[in-house]
Structures are given as structure tokens and as C-alpha cells.
Amino acid sequence: TIVVSPLISLMKDQVDQLREYGVPALFLNSTLSMEEYRTNVSKLRENRVKLLYLAPEALLAPRTLALLSALKVDCIAIDEAHCISEWGHDFRPEYRQLAAVRATFLDAPCVALTATATPRVREDIRQSLNIDDQSQYIGSFNRPNLFLEVAPKTEPLDQVLSLLKQYPNESGIIYCATRRQTDDLHSVLHRKGYSVRPYHAGLSEKERTENQERFSRDDIRIIVATIAFGMGINKPNVRFVVHYDLPGSIDNYYQEIGRAGRDGLPAHCLLLFGYGDLQKVQFFIGQKTEQEQRTANILLSQLLGFAETDLCRRVPLLNYFGETDVPDRCGMCDNCRPGEEEKELVDLTIPAQMFLSCVKRAGEIFGAGHIVDVLRGSNSQKVLKFGHEELSTYGIGTAYSAKQWRHLSRQFIQKGLLLYDYEHGSLKLTPKAWGILRGKETFLGRMEEAKKDHGAVLRQRGSEAETFDSGLFETLRKKRKELADQANLPPYAIFHDRTLREMALYYPRTRESLLALYGIGKSKLEKYADAFLDIISEHCRTHRIPERQKPAPIAEPAPTPPADSGKRRYLVIGESFNQGRTIEQLAVDFNIRHDTVLSHLYQCLRENHPLRQNDFLMNSRLTEDQRQSVLSSFARLGTERLRPVLEDLNGTIPYEELKLLRLHLLCRDQNRPENPNPAGV
């Protein structure tokens, strides 16, 4: 099998891991000496290789094609296939030529693999490689172990330091927009004693390679990098990814956060979002051709939609990649933290009038930071220079902190009261703002609360992280590092952190017990069992700890899904509901919350899968008048989104009640299509 891979470092990393698993794999690229190259070619000709890794330009070379034509090529696998498409976020012209290689080896099936492809990119890949339309297999883009957070960029250095305190001695990546920012942040973190190195195109190739390898081998914990870093990284134990600056698109963002949590354990993804960053992005967009500018502005607009949303982060993110089966709440983002109900909207008309009036009186040529200074009565040089201490709005907003005002300003932009001028960084009133200023309309929003410890959410999700023996884990980690250095491998090529955590949780004493743990097969058992069992046994003798039996994998709760294993979960839940299971029973059967059951049933109706008649109103705690108000709002605003209905009702009705009444309305109309009164109960 030929594996086309874009980066040399990625090839070496994957080949090293495959060899650890006992799979005969090798690569041909410019890092090999002449003798190593000839040795690898000989192994190929002797049919001693299962997987051959090549960069696209190496594969297209005449001497490579001549070598391969004398061999039996069973399969062509193209990794990072989004590079084929001009609509992809990382288009590479040489990838476009791979169609000719496929035509050379007609008997070899071709598989194109990517983790970041919109429907348009997928279609471009399919047409370029002449892949049948029925041969597309699309898994979910959701990475449920990643906690997604977008925080206002107020004091970025302090925000990063706060995050690092939550993850001591853990690996992470911090992305910056420019080389200068990368170097500056690296210098500050290094002076503060963090194990950190920079990575950007301004460093020599030797420095970049050394820093990347040191990160992969756990010799350093943190990389501060531009987007030049990461595509060749397969490090599974990255516990956090920070975007210090705004990425260029949702594709870039998703690709970069995808380097976190590859071992399946919880990881934290923090994007620091400030409108000031948009001016930098617009500057770079301005350097492109006219066609490239149009595309870049569309991608930026989609990214802003993600950053500014007050919905679950996964809704716009997964919708962008064509995924529509997305619950309203994920429990793993800053907008829907677990254990919290939807925050109610409150009347913020007075502070809205203060802010909008100040923008107008200052001439609509200043940004939010200056307006906040005026409202809070600052004596800053800029306020005094423009004489804004004489404005009637000067000092009238001291009841709110600067942070609260900035939070409000973003809501005013999101709700269409203000326009942000990307070129000059200034705020301008929209026609909608005058309804607020003249007291004809009210503004409902949310006031900034105390900073939440999102690391606590991840600690709750990673329940094993609370119970494994941390002392034993650190001893095992040292042994892993020792063995990895001896074999010139990254530590995760020996065992993942997840494997070591299970060792420190179940205290296995035998080879049979080790085989039950995550990531341990017969090849690794033979190589490393004795070294790790010795440490575990000694630790347990010293501390008098018995071995624990690892529980068998938990089977899917009843009801059992039908034979069609590809059937989506919401369909299974819908079928169970039609067989007579109640909402409460389904929540227990599938170990999910009541409102998640309601979301799955709604998805069934959206896709025209009928549900049995059921009195959903029996589960409602609303009064008759409240129900009528909700159904009336649905009749006017539609049932596609709950947010407009919530706001129409001034935030007084809980989300779960809205979901119940939406189901009541849709299910009733489904069974009585000629009902002339869609808003009535």
C-alpha cells in the first residue's frame, strides 16, 4: 500500500509507531542517506514491506513511478486529502496531480482521507480522483472529549498563564499569528520558568526540527508556534491548545484544535477573541488577489459566526462541515457547561442606552475600549486629548466594570445594534440602535459573571484522572521516557498516557491483566511487559495495594440497536419511543438527559420519521397561559431554532419546556395535517 503523506516528520513518526506494532513499513524521502535509500528500495523489491510512505512530489518522480511499476500495488491511500481541493484550507498543487498516479495503477483501490473537509471540498476531492459518489464514508466531525471555549481577549498573557496553572506538567500548543508574537510570548513564558520552545518559519530548519522532536519526546512541555507547526504532529497527550490570535478560518481552527486529546482523554481548546485582531486579519487578506480576498472574507465571516455565537459551540462548528444531527447542548463548551441551565436573559436596556449614546456623542469613530474609558470616567491621555471628559456620558457607567462593558459591547454587535468597522476598528450605530435609544424597544442580554473554572469540567469528564495513582503514574512515565530515549522514539510510541493511567488505576500484576488495558497488544506486551510489571509490583508491595479487575466494556444500554449498526442514535431512540418507552425511560436506557432525549425525537420529526401520538404536555410544568404564549411564538417564528422563541418570550421559559412544546406542536400536526389552527392547543 502506498500512503501519500504531505510531511516528512509525519511519515517518520507514523512509520516508527507502525514498526512498534510489528507492521513492516518504511518511507522514501530526502532525509535518507544514499545507503538507507538503497536498503529501503531493496526491501520493496523483495516484497518485505506492507506500507510505503511517500510525499506527493516524491511519488510523482519518474524514478519512483518506474520502481512502483515493477511491484504489485494493492492500494493507494491519500492522507490529508483536503490538500487536493482549491477550496480546502491547505491547497497544494502537487496533490492535484495524484489523479494521474491513480490512472497508472488501475487495479489498486484508492482511498482519500481527511478530517477537515466541507461538502464542497469533499465533492472536489471525489471529482479530482474520479471516486464514485456512493463510495463516500463520512464519520462525525465531533470530538466529544474537547472542551471548546472562546474567551474575550482582554489580558491575553494573564489568560494564558491562568490556563497553564490548570494544566501543570502537561503538554500543550499555543498558536500565534506572527513570528514576532510567537517569539515575544515564548520569551515571557521561558523567563517564568515554563518548559517551552518556539516554532515558526523564521527559525532554521535544524531549530524547527529539534524543537518539534523535543516536544514529541516530552523533553519540553509547551510549543509556542505559528500555523507552520502541527501538521506533522501525532502526539496523543496534548492537553490544551490555545489560539492567542484569531485563526484564518473554521478549517484552520478545527485542524489546529485537532492536535489536542488524540488519546481520547479530555483536552481544553481556548480561543482568545478580540475585535482588534480582525484588523490584522483584514490586513493580510488585503495582500491577496481579488478572488482570494472574496474567499478569505467568506471564511472569516463563518469563523466570526462561530466565535460570536451564544449557542452551543458545536452547532455552528459541525454545521459548517455539513453535519446536521447536532444536539442543542453538548456539555463540553463554554456556552453549555454541564450542570447549568440556560442562563436567562435580563433587561439591559439602560446600559445599552448609555453605551449607544456614548458611541454617538463621540462621533462613531472610536472602538469599544475608548467608549468604555469614557463611560467609566477615565483620565486617560486619549480621553483628555479629544475632550471627551466634557461629554454628558462621561463617568455615567461606573456601576459596571470595564470587563462587563466589553462583554456588553460584544452583545451589542452580535445583536445588530452596532457595526464594527474592520478597517478602522471603530463602532457605528445601526438603524436598530435608535429603537433602543428612543426607548421604543428593550434590550435583553446577559451580564458578565465571575470567571468559570473550565478545567473543573474536564476533571469531571475525565473521572479516571481523579482516581488513578498519580505517584505510580509519574514513575511509569519516567520509565517510559527512559525506554523511548534508548530506542530513539517519542514516549507515546511506547505507551500512551491513557495506558499508563490505566496501569496506575488497576495495578495489573500479570501479562494477561496488561493485555486488557488500552493500547497494549501482543507486540508491545513482549517488548515492555516485564519493565512495567516490575515497577507496578514493587509499588503495590510497598504500599500494600491489591490488583483491581478492569471492568468489562459497558455494552450499549437497552434497547439494543437493530442489526443495522450504521443507524444513527436518534433513529434508535425514535423507534424505542414508538414502541412505548417514555421520555424518562429513554433517558435511563441511553444514559442521557431528558432534554437530550427531546432533541433526538425532534431530529426524527425533522427528517420525516413519524412518532407515535403522545401527550407531551403531561411532562410540562407550564400554566395554560404560558403554553399558549409559547405556541403562539412558534407559530410566528417557526420551530427550526429555539433561541428566537426564547428571546421573544423574554427568556422566561426554560429550554426543556420549549423542546417539549415544540414536539407537541410538530407531532400533533404530523398526525393531524389538516388542523386549521397551528397555534392552538
CATH number of the domain residue 214 falls in:
3.40.50.300
Domain identity same for 53 and 200? no
Least confident window among 280-289, 425-434, 506-515? 280-289
Q: How confident is the model at residue 561 (pLDDT cuts 50, 70, 90)?
A: very low
Cα end-to-end distance, the chain, whole Å: 63
124 sits in which H/E element: helix 119-129
Structural domain contains residue 554: no
Structural domain contains residue 500: yes
Domain identity same for 386 and 495? no
Measured between alpha carbons, how far is 282 from 252 in angstroms, rounded to an integer? Answer: 16
User: Is 564's pLDDT higher than 60?
Assistant: no
- The number of angstroms, rounded, from the C-alpha of 552 to the middle of its chain's C-alpha atoms is 30
pLDDT in tens, 223-262: 999 976 766 577 899 999 999 999 988 988 998 999 999 9
pTM: 0.65
Residue 424 maps to which CATH number?
1.10.10.10
At 431, the amino acid letter reads P
Domain identity same for 383 and 520? no
The secondary structure of 542-553 as a DSSP string is HHT----PPPPP
Structural domain contains residue 556: no
How confident is the model at residue 449, as a pLDDT?
A: 61
Query: Percent of the chain beyond pLDDT 70?
Result: 89
User: Taking residues 436-453, what's their average pLDDT?
Assistant: 76
CB-based burial, 66-81: b 16+ in 10 Å, e otherwise = eebeeeebeebbbbbb
Domain identity same for 404 and 471? no
Q: How confident is the model at residue 553 (pLDDT cuts 50, 70, 90)?
A: low
More confident residue, 91 or 140: 140
Residue labelled with grid coordinates 423574554: 650
CA-CA-CA-CA torsion sign (452, 453, 458, 460): negative
Domain identity same for 225 and 272? yes
Which range has highest mean pLDDT (84-88, 326-330, 357-361)? 357-361
Residue 609 maps to which CATH number?
1.10.10.1390
Structural domain contains residue 327: no
Domain identity same for 27 and 161? no
515 sits in which H/E element: helix 511-515
Question: How many CB atoms sit inside 10 A of residue 615's CB?
Answer: 10
Measured between alpha carbons, how far is 58 from 53 in angstroms, rounded to an integer? Answer: 10
CA 178 → CA 161, 181, 250, 492, 563, distances in Å?
Answer: 20, 5, 19, 30, 52
Q: How confident is the model at residue 381 (pLDDT cuts 50, 70, 90)?
A: very high
Measured between alpha carbons, how far is 328 from 60 in angstroms, rounded to an integer? Answer: 47
What are the percentages of helix, strand and coil residues in the chain, rounded to 5?
50, 10, 40
Q: What is the DSSP letter of 556?
A: P
Count the residues in the chain. 681
Measured between alpha carbons, how far is 303 from 247 in angstroms, rounded to an integer? Answer: 8
Structural domain contains residue 450: no
Determine the 3-state secondary structure of 630 from DSSP. Answer: helix
Least confident window among 155-164, 280-289, 624-633? 280-289
User: Taking residues 108-130, what's their average pLDDT?
Assistant: 86
- Mean model confidence pLDDT for the chain: 84
Residue labelled with grid coordinates 485563526: 247
- Which of 142, 145, 140 shows the shortest CA–CA distance to 263? 145
User: Is 90's pLDDT higher than 90?
Assistant: no
Residue where one domain finishes, among candidates 445, 473, 488: 445
Domain identity same for 58 and 94? yes
The secondary structure of 133-193 as a DSSP string is GGG--------TTEEEEEEE-SSHHHHHHHHHHHSTT-EEEEE-SSHHHHHHHHHHHHHTT
All three cell numbers of 11: 511519515
How confident is the model at residue 558, as a pLDDT?
A: 38
User: Taking residues 627-634, what's their average pLDDT?
Assistant: 88
Residue where one domain finishes, among candidates 526, 543, 560: 543
Number of domains in the chain: 5
What domain range includes position 107?
2-135
Query: Percent of the chain beyond pLDDT 90?
Result: 42
Structural domain contains residue 453: no
Domain identity same for 131 and 168? no
CA 24 → CA 49, 70, 229, 376, distances in Å?
Answer: 5, 19, 28, 68
Domain identity same for 254 and 117? no
Structural domain contains residue 341: no
Q: How confident is the model at residue 555 (pLDDT cuts 50, 70, 90)?
A: very low
Q: Using an 8 Å Cβ cutoff, are 44 and 265 in contact?
A: no
User: Taking residues 568-596, what's their average pLDDT?
Assistant: 81
User: Taking residues 153-178, what's their average pLDDT?
Assistant: 93
Least confident window among 352-361, 493-502, 547-556? 547-556
Least confident window among 93-102, 150-159, 178-187, 368-377? 93-102
How confident is the model at residue 460, as a pLDDT?
A: 52
How confident is the model at residue 22, as a pLDDT?
A: 85
pLDDT in tens, 450-461: 455 555 555 555
Angle between helical axes of 250-257 and 290-308 (0-180°, round to 10): 60
Q: How confident is the model at residue 377 (pLDDT cuts 50, 70, 90)?
A: very high
In degrees and rounded to multiples of 5, residue 257 shows phi and psi of -70, -20
Measured between alpha carbons, how far is 502 from 508 in angstroms, rounded to an integer? Answer: 9
CA 453 → CA 110, 154, 162, 542, 574, distances in Å?
Answer: 46, 17, 10, 36, 36
Domain identity same for 100 and 199? no
Q: How confident is the model at residue 309 (pLDDT cuts 50, 70, 90)?
A: confident
pLDDT in tens, 15-50: 988 888 889 999 999 888 999 999 999 999 999 999
Domain identity same for 433 and 479? no
Structural domain contains residue 641: yes
Q: How confident is the model at residue 511 (pLDDT cuts 50, 70, 90)?
A: very high
Residue where one domain finishes, among candidates 286, 320, 354: 320
Residue 517 maps to which CATH number?
1.10.150.80
The secondary structure of 86-123 as a DSSP string is TTSTT--HHHHTHHHHHHH-TTS-EEE--S---HHHHH
Domain identity same for 46 and 65? yes
User: Is 510's pLDDT higher than 60?
Assistant: yes
User: Is 565's pLDDT higher than 50?
Assistant: no
